Amino acid sequence: MISVIAYDLADYELLRQQVTVSAVEALFGSITKGSIERYEVPRNGALNFVVHEVLEGGRSRTLAFEESGKALSSLMLTLPITVPEGRRPRKRIGHSAIEPKTNESVPEQTEGKRIRLGSATAWSRDRFGPAEALVERGALDYICFESMSEVTMSAVQAAKEDGHSTLPYDPYLIDRLGPILKACKDKGIKIISNQGWMDPDAAALRLQSFAEQEGIKGLKIAAVRGGILTDEITGLGLSFLETDSKISDSSEVIVSAEAYGVCQQ
């Protein structure tokens, strides 16, 4: 699925009129073999496109979906939109027409602690080398690993249901963190990672075991849990945004359900 979202809700009707199924079909051309469906979600200013039978190039299914999803999303950005003559200028970032949810004022920026972040990975099959270079030369306070996506979680859950002996966390957990763990400990660099996938506790225990084997002492490891809702999703009274049908009516075809975590100051 690929989503197109109006930054300003006032522009949603313009997108709805021009980002049509036929326009997307013409843009993607022979990349897609099957049909394309469009679902409108006006309350979010979104158009969701479900693309069937995307050419995958002979790689594994998970890798193909991971790559093709990003590629098709990027390609969607090239779709031309005709802005009617005389239409008001688009509002600048930070001045959206969307009303704020609260009346809280934004606090004034004050001089305070500054931190330096390093991005080591952008997806589950990203390169290994940048992490070591960042730790060695980046003068970091934190190093971050992004290795989880919707399709990653679904693939792990599907493999689990099929009885496959698939790890519930990133299989590259130790391959990625192992080479930098001692250096991060010595330099005081904190590691932030979402490699726990379906079982953050198991990932934390595996990393702790590795640290003990390597003689790395005093390492603090925290696991954040609570985002897996597969067993609870049908009892929450929720509905699909696109169709308003109840999620509980689709219980037999649900593969997995995860909530996005948030942080507050």
**What local confidence, expressed as pLDDT, does residue 62 receive?**
42
**What local confidence, expressed as pLDDT, does residue 37 receive?**
92
Average pLDDT, the chain: 83
Window from 65-69, 86-90, 174-178, 213-217 with minimum mean pLDDT: 65-69
Percent of the chain with pLDDT over 70: 83
| 21-49 burial code (b ≥16 CB/10 A, e <16) | eeebeebbeeebeeebebeebeeebbbbb
Segment 73-122, tens digit of pLDDT: 778 888 999 988 887 766 554 444 444 445 555 556 667 788 999 999 98
Window from 51-60, 158-167, 256-265 with minimum mean pLDDT: 51-60
Q: Which of 4, 137, 154, 136 is nearest to 79 (CA)?
A: 4
> Which residue did the predictor score with more confidence, 224 or 94?
224
| 123-136 burial code (b ≥16 CB/10 A, e <16) | ebebeeebbeebbe
**What local confidence, expressed as pLDDT, does residue 53 receive?**
77
